[in-house]
Amino acid sequence: MYDEKNLNHEMVQFMDQYGSLLHDNIDLNDSQLLEIYNWMLKTRLFDEKMVRMQRQGRIGTYAPFSGQEASQVGSTYAMEKDDWIFSSYREIAATMVHGLPMQQSILYAKGHMYGGQSPDKLNIFPIQIIIAGQTLHAAGCALASKLKGENDVSVSYFGDGATSEGDFHEALNIASVFKVPSVFFCQNNHWAISVPLHQQTASQTIAQKAIAYGVKGVRVDGNDVLAVYHVMKEALESARNGEGPTLIEAVTYRQGPHTTADDPTKYRNNDEVNEWAKKDPIDRFRTFLNKRGLMDEDKQEKMKGIVNEEIEKAVAEAESTDRVTVDKAFDYVYDKPHKLLLEQQEESRQFLTIKEGR
Give the residue from 171, 251, 245 showing the smallest Cα distance to 11: 251
The reply to whether 267 belongs to the active site is: yes
Q: Are 310 and 42 in contact (CB under 8 A)?
A: yes
Q: Which of 258, 292, 323, 334 is catalytic?
A: 258
The contact mask relative to another protein for 32-71 (x = CB under 8 A, - = no) is ----------------------------------------
E strand residue ranges, 57-153: 84-86
Q: What gap in Å lies between CA 221 and CA 235, rounded to an integer?
A: 15
Interface with another protein in residues 67-126 (CB under 8 A):
84, 86, 113-114, 116-118, 120, 125-126
Q: Is 111 left (phi over 0), alpha (psi -120 to 50) or beta?
A: left
The reply to whether 2 belongs to the active site is: no
- Closer Cβ to another protein, 193 or 342, answer by number: 342
Among 64, 133, 245, 281, which residue sits at the site for another protein (rule: CB under 8 A)? 133
Among 36, 70, 109, 142, which residue sits at the site for another protein (rule: CB under 8 A)? 142
Q: What gap in Å lies between CA 20 and CA 291, rounded to an integer?
A: 8
Among 21, 28, 178, 195, which residue sits at the site for another protein (rule: CB under 8 A)? 178
The reply to whether 258 belongs to the active site is: yes
Burial of 277-290, coded b for 16+ CB within 10 Å and e otherwise, reads eebbbbebbbbbbe
The DSSP result for 238-258, as a single string, is HHHTT---EEEEEE----S-S
- Closer Cβ to another protein, 60 or 126, answer by number: 126
Positions that interact with another protein (CB under 8 A): 84, 86, 113-114, 116-118, 120, 125-126, 130, 133, 135-145, 147-148, 154, 166-167, 170-171, 173-174, 177-178, 329, 331-335, 338-341
Active site residues: 254, 258, 267
